[in-house]
Amino acid sequence: MSERVPENIVICIDTSRSMYRTDYPPTRLNASIKAVKKLISERFNEDTMSSFAVVRFSDKPKKILDFTSTEESLFNCLDSLEFCGKSAMGEALGFSIKIIISELRKIAAKIPRILLISDGKLTKTSVDPLKMARLAHGLNIKIDCFRLGEVSSLNLLKRLSDITGGKYYYNNDSESLLQAALNLANSNIKTYGESSKSLVDNPAFLRKIAADLLRVQDLTKDQEQRLLQIRGLADYKKCSICFSDTNPYTKSSFFVSGRYCPNCQTPYHIHCLASWADSQKDSKMRKSATVRCPHCYYLLKIPIEVSQVRKLTSLVKPRIREGSSNKKPEIAAAELMDFGEIKDDALFNSCPVCNLIFEPEQKIVRCENCKTLYHKNCFEILNNSQCKNCGIKLHLY
């Protein structure tokens, strides 16, 4: 018996006016819906652990249904789709990636995929679909494409699949569309001998997808009311680790250093949560400055102001006696690199000057002492050429 790999699949379906054409009877959209239903039924017959979400896009994307394994809900959702507007494909892909990232923050998240169903006509967009594909590739999200209608010389959908390593199906009639759905439904069979390494093992990836904690002023009225109901007026601004309003590390009030889990709204002092993170046995979590909420296990990001202080503190060593060979060097080399030279475990690092990730075609400078990466133009504006991580003055040879 074949072992199946459970997946979270976002069905990203084009509902623009061009999908009203009748070359796929009765219309392109109706034929697509029929194919998606077949995909869902066949997948659930073999693997009840997979889940589907539905996003439709025309002038703008909209989530119709969050991840579920309930066939009836998915079918009802698909039957409600209607034609309207133009095709904002880039925005739809970006929106689908956000939905997947939210799922990846949960414990035991499934393998993510996006199924894009469209005739490939890009009629309205302020976001480049290819840029979204490169982002998806960096997050290990494959984009599978069902292409309807005539193929243009650009063949945008095939390029999206090629960039992400997804499957591309050109369907020139309703029967081939149904066959594509059947093939994709049975594509999650585990291949033995393949690498089991996951990006979730990468500390930089964990840091990238982790959610920011909410401040007191970030809570909506509904969230605040929920906290009042659950915890009572007296303690909804008390840390769930130290059970106090006052931060035991900084002596500041909860309003200053208190934060809430964005998933369950449990309150914490950022320093208490950071100490909880330090107690983790998982070295990848400690290195990434992330922690799972002690209450709901949602992946959270330790605020940069706390993680940086802790990182600097960990770099402080006992004073070395004069003449010791372990004395910290006063100057270190910096190496100029191309994007393609970055190793896999550093793909999602961000520049400590601008806090942005690295993109193809960019020149990158690496500190040879601590391996911190900088954009070349950011490196050029460093104060006294000192590395922001290890503090050593760098010289670009």
192 in a domain, yes or no? no
What per-residue confidence (pLDDT) applies to 187? 92
The yes-or-no verdict on residue 135 having pLDDT over 80 is yes
Which residues does residue 114 pair with via DSSP β-bridges, in sequence order?
A: 10, 143
d(CA 203, CA 286): 8
Least-confidence region, from 123-137, 350-364, 373-387? 350-364
Query: Where does 196-239 have alpha helices with state H?
Result: 203-209, 221-231
Supply the CATH number for residue 59's domain.
Answer: 3.40.50.410
Residues with Cβ within 8 Å of residue 229, at least 6 apart in sequence: none
- Dump pLDDT digits (tens) for 267-310: 899 888 988 888 777 777 877 888 889 888 899 988 876 766 55
Supply the CATH number for residue 338's domain.
Answer: 3.30.40
151 in a domain, yes or no? yes
Residue percentage of the chain with pLDDT more than 90 = 37
Ranked by mean pLDDT, the top range of 147-151, 163-167, 297-301, 337-341 is: 163-167
Closest CA to 105 of 280, 300, 349: 300
Give yes or no: residues 352 and 379 share one domain.
yes
Decide if 190 contacts 2 (C-beta within 8 A). Answer: yes
Give yes or no: residues 224 and 264 share one domain.
yes
What per-residue confidence (pLDDT) applies to 229? 47
The yes-or-no verdict on residue 321 having pLDDT over 60 is no
Range of the domain at 382: 331-396
Name the region of 94 (left: φ>0; alpha: ψ -120 to 50; beta: rest): alpha
Decide if 124 contacts 110 (C-beta within 8 A). Answer: no
Decide if 361 contacts 339 (C-beta within 8 A). Answer: yes
What per-residue confidence (pLDDT) applies to 190? 77
Supply the CATH number for residue 286's domain.
Answer: 3.30.40.10
Number of Cβ within 10 Å of residue 22's Cβ equals 10
The yes-or-no verdict on residue 121 having pLDDT over 90 is no
Q: Tell me how far CA of residue 266 lies from CA of 15, 17, 99, 226, 274, in angstroms.
A: 39, 45, 22, 11, 15
Give yes or no: residues 52 and 126 share one domain.
yes
The yes-or-no verdict on residue 179 having pLDDT over 90 is yes
Give yes or no: residues 175 and 32 share one domain.
yes
Q: How many domains does the chain have?
A: 3
What is the pTM for the complete model shown? 0.67
Give yes or no: residues 177 and 51 share one domain.
yes
Give yes or no: residues 310 and 339 share one domain.
no
Decide if 6 contacts 149 (C-beta within 8 A). Answer: no
Q: Report residue 12 as tokens.
A: 């990203």
203 in a domain, yes or no? no
Residues with Cβ within 8 Å of residue 103, at least 6 apart in sequence: 8, 67, 109, 110, 112
The yes-or-no verdict on residue 104 having pLDDT over 50 is yes
What per-residue confidence (pLDDT) applies to 251? 84
Q: 322 or 187, which is more confident?
A: 187
Q: What is residue 357's DSSP assignment?
A: B
d(CA 188, CA 2): 10
Average pLDDT value for residue range 180-200: 73
For the chain, how big is the Rg over CA atoms in Å?
Answer: 25
The yes-or-no verdict on residue 380 having pLDDT over 80 is yes
Average pLDDT, the chain: 83
